[in-house]
Structure 1
Amino acid sequence: MKDHTIGHCPMACEKLNGFMSRVGDRWSVLVILALDGMGMMRFNELKRHLGITQRMLSRTLRELERDGLVRRTVHDTVPPRVDYELTALGESFGDPIRYLGDWGLKHLEQIDAARADFDAKHPD
């Protein structure tokens, strides 16, 4: 039997590719960080907080719900109220996402400097 760990990639990399390309996208990460930091939020709260379009937020939330990271709760009110929150699985994913966010904030100046240096050496 073959080793299917990430280091020996074949099956693991193939299966992880779709998940990582999607949950590693900008909006998925920001939605997870927002729900992790603020708890349950309504759709329009998330939209305003993130500065995201309605279409992109709907799509992102649907995919996160599909992966089991976000729970959608519809309340029978007029107008309908829909809340979003992280599931236990989503909360556990919050730890590595927070780490990634903290790393990014810690290194923003270095990243900006590297980009400026690269752009100066490679003008369009």
Structure 2
Amino acid sequence: MLILRGIEQKGFVRFNETKRVLSASGRILQTHLRELEGDGLIQRIDYPGYPRRTDYVFTEVGKTLIPIINSIYKWNIKRMKEQQIPITTETSIYHQDID
């Protein structure tokens, strides 16, 4: 879900940045990305050159999830505020208020 939220917020996610922000192992993150790609929700874009860069973006089908993702995150923000759970700088992209 956080991967999809990152794509919704930025338009794309990058492997290493997502790995760092989520504190996920590369193997687990790669598994999740492949599953989302296999489900037709995201597309992998490889760029030539050094350093190697790979972006993940929504497919047209994946874009249909945006209203659902936003509804879940509105609920999540409300719950975090009610429970006084702080939003950290590193995870703020995933937990911004949605208007």
TM-score by structure 1 length? 0.59
Instruction: Indicate the RMSD between aligned Cα atoms, in angstroms.
Output: 1.8
Kindly indicate which of the two structures has a greater share of residues assigned to helix: 1
Q: SS where residue 65 of structure 2 aligns?
A: helix
Find the aligned partners of 1:40 and 1:71 in 2 and give their Cα distance.
Answer: 10
Q: SS where residue 78 of structure 1 aligns?
A: coil
- TM-aligned CA deviation for residue 67 of structure 1: 0.6
Find the aligned partners of 1:86 and 1:68 in 2 and give their Cα distance.
Answer: 9
Matching residue of 1:99? 71
Structure 1 unpaired stretches of 5+:
1-28, 113-124
- Percent identity between the aligned chains? 37
Please identify the structure whose Cα radius of gyration is greater: 1
Aligned residues: 83
Matched letter for residue 36 of structure 2: L
Matching residue of 1:87? 59
Matched letter for residue 101 of structure 1: Y
Matched, 1:77 2:49: yes
Structure 2 unpaired stretches of 5+:
86-99
Matched letter for residue 66 of structure 2: G
Q: Pick 1 or 2: higher relative contact order, CA cutoff 8 A, min separation 6.
A: 2
- TM-aligned CA deviation for residue 101 of structure 1: 1.4
- TM-aligned CA deviation for residue 50 of structure 1: 2.2
TM-score by structure 2 length? 0.73
- TM-aligned CA deviation for residue 78 of structure 1: 3.0
- TM-aligned CA deviation for residue 60 of structure 1: 0.6
